Chain A
């Protein structure tokens, strides 16, 4: 049953989701703006509210290494990080996915140096998009909670057994106070269920080796192909888990959240909290009779290409907002995904790509309106630009 509405930050909500999932092991290192997730969780451990073995480590590299060890041993494992911390984990991220460790990690999406910047964008998370992790984006603190619960269900599903990142935007979602509800502990525990590891290292009656040498012939390719097909297939598991969670809590879970797409001529595609800004603006323009809409993937890996193409299929022109850049590429990460999705479905809709809100830069309503008006004018298609920055 849902609690009364109360105010909480996204980080508090993620910590509560983790508390309710009660992992066997958490190994974590603090970094802004993730710190309060782990800080709150450490209190749950100290107060005896969870059964978790909390491992304090000296770096994120060690945090993820400890998580992989604990997961391979057969435990339910969670952690949280951000930015440079996520970057420091990079080699372990591949190992976690390659070893099929269903670790759940929260990421407070944040800029990457240099220059130094602690604010929200997606530069950190996009650097991990090819590692084999499932990646979920939350628009609100409430969604950060819901996604974090769904993350355990998906990661530990025997059809998946891949690590999942549940991400929320630095400061905007991690630290802003928002209206939220919690489901009760029993409901969450029942929904996630017990974790039954398939090949735990600690099952000494059935000894296994993990993370083996695959240096000859095509065994390495075979292992990678399995991860590719598994993460592709996980989209159906995410839908299934999201739907059953939605049935329990009454809040919607859509792989791709579409607003106004039935008749919109001009669409903005955006991830996370930025989609809220776009939708807020789109509502204002709708009130003036303008046919505009917003499309938001809640899942970035696996990329919901067919759902995106379907949501965009009626549009005349599309702008994609990226909160990171793929420097030297034609488009930034989301822009490239959307363009490829349209192409593969035979849709020839012009796409313009805007890099927005890097390092926590505010994206104003006027700027979003200017993008819709660029779409209407037909300017900018096929190009990438930095919104609000004079060149």
Chain B
């Protein structure tokens, strides 16, 4: 049922609305990852949104992207200012951007870094209640995809840490999305990167 319905008068439980904010540099594939998460959730029948924050498209410039997931139709369209989950694809952003801005203290951060979880927690100045997960998504991408594309592996880490989307759905969705553009070898490398990040992510 879409917005505009008479059923809008029914009470909806929007407490289940999951809001994810992505921090990355342009060219790292954050938008693709934001969409991959949304599409994977849609396979479970969820309502979804995925969008970048549109700005100057310069490779290397900091950017944000957003994913929303809910069991109910999503009516809100603004940028996500109070995310429950933050995913950071480049740890050099921590020097210039407050990636935790607007987050509640019990949120979850997933960081692409070679730092240990405790080093990352310190670098983020994360409150004790916050869940901080680290994964060397860049290292995994260089091993598997042979390019610095941390976006697909980090979705595997996201699946493991949050349990919001099963990793099988991520893999299945990735085959569909990438199948239109890439060779089987590249798709297999991406699938492997997802599996590895799923195993290697640490809290």
Contacts and interface: CB of A to CB of B under 8 A. Distances in A.
Contacts of A260: 9
Of B2, B38, B48, B49, most A-chain CB atoms within 10 Å: B2
Nearest to B67: A177
B115 interface: no
- Taking residues whose C-beta sits less than 8 angstroms from the other chain, chain A's interface range is 35 or more
Interface of B: 1-6, 8-9, 12, 14, 35, 38-39, 42, 45-52, 54, 73-79, 81
Which secondary structure characterizes the binding site on chain B? loop
B50 A7 contact: yes
Contacts of A276: 3, 75-77
Contact of A171 (B8, B9, B54): B54
A290 interface: no
Nearest to B1: A251
8 contacts: A140-B2, A175-B52, A176-B77, A179-B47, A251-B5, A296-B4, A362-B79, A363-B78
Contacts of B75: 139, 276-277, 279-280, 283
Contacts, number: 96
Contact of B54 (A119, A140, A178, A277): A119
Interface secondary structure of A, over-half rule: mixed
B42 A7 contact: yes
Given A6-B42, A277-B78, A283-B12, A179 B3 contact: no
B4 A257 contact: yes
A69 B28 CA distance: 46
Contacts of B42: 5-7, 179
B3 A140 contact: yes
A173 B38 CA distance: 16
Given A119-B54, A175-B51, A273 B4 contact: no
A358 B21 CA distance: 23
A360 B54 CA distance: 10
Interface string A264-298: 00000000011111011101100000000000101
A252 interface: yes
A15 B63 CA distance: 28
Contacts of A284: 14
